Structure 1
Amino acid sequence: MSHENQRSVEIERTGEGAYDVRNVRGGVIPLGTGDDERFTPVELLLAAIGGCSGIDVDVVTSRKGEPERFLIRVRGDKVRTADGENRLENLEVEFDLAFPPGEAGDRARAVVPRVIRQSHDKLCTVTRTVEAGTPVSTFQTGAVTSPQ
């Protein structure tokens, strides 16, 4: 992996079923098991899928006209396969957008279908990675020790 292309986060346990996800810029997102208001890993995956395409669409359309409504809904069904594997199926990203009447709004509306398609087919790193089925390596560093 080239260092300039690498993206990373750290996840630190802060309590029972509670974690903080930190990026290199100092941002923090609370992560949990679903027993409280903290986001679950599945919710963060859905947010990443919708956020990635949403940013693509927003950057292009807002240059044409400022949206009156910009809402993205992302959903999927969590299933357990016959082999006992958990995964999401039927992933959907719904764009609920409104632009004002007039020339600027017309220009923004005109590019929405193309930008959504481009984001899905080419631009959104998250969706492209999920659909490609990129392998994930897991490993341990350091020794697991017991108290002396």
Structure 2
Amino acid sequence: MATVNVERTEDGFVATNGRGARVAIGGGDDNGAFTPVELLLAAVGGCNIVTVEPLTAQRGHRLVRLAMSVEAAKVESNMLGTVTVTYDVELPEGDPEADEVFRSVAQRVHERHCTVSRTLQQGVEVKVELPE
């Protein structure tokens, strides 16, 4: 089970995982803080990239550069439209197979391995439990 605690602090809001890592959360006008929507997009990108990188390297094709942007527009005041992941890749020189391997791995990760992307695509119930 994955668990993150979110709480208000003197400086705003912070999410903390069980390993002690912290991420500042704000409303969009807080310097140095992610909005909740930005965190969602970062989760999509992070899930994909941390899976694509080692799988590509394991196949003998270490990419010189591997980055991405993740974007989505609001289609309603409280709903995002399509989330688009755009890779920025620099292939190693002298490796004619690297592009094909990268594309194959990235597509497979998107379709089968990235928990965040798959959850968004399939939809999942979000329950709220209030204290009694």
TM-score, normalization by structure 1? 0.81
Secondary structure, counterpart of 1:61 in structure 2: helix
Q: What secondary structure is seen at the aligned counterpart in 1 of 2:69?
A: strand
Task: Name 1:53's counterpart in structure 2.
Answer: 48
Structure 1 residue 54 displacement after superposition: 0.9
Of 61, 66, 74 in structure 2, the residue corresponding to residue 65 of structure 1 is 61
* Percentage of matched positions with identical amino acids: 36
CA distance, structure 1, for counterparts of residue 39 and residue 65 of structure 2 = 22
Taking the aligned partners of 2:52 and 2:120, their CA distance within structure 1 comes to: 19
Report the Cα distance in structure 2 between the residues aligned to 1:111 and 1:138, rounded to whole angstroms: 42
Q: Structure 2, unaligned stretches of length 5 or more?
A: none
Q: Tell me which residue corresponds to 1:19.
A: 13
- 1:22-37 → structure 2 map (5 Å cutoff): 22-37=16-31
Instruction: Identify which of 62, 74, 77 aligns with 1:78.
Output: 74
1:111 deviation in Å? 1.1
Aligned with 2:92 (options 91, 100, 117) = 100
Q: Read off the aligned partner of 1:62 and give its amino acid letter.
A: A
Which residue matches 1:146? none
The offset of 1:134, in angstroms, is: 0.5
Q: What residue number does 2:120 align with?
A: 130
Note the C-alpha offset of 1:78: 1.2
Q: Is contact 2:70-2:85 (8 Å) kept?
A: yes
Contact kept, 8 Å, 2:6 with 2:14, in 1: the verdict is yes
Q: Secondary structure at the match of 2:81?
A: strand
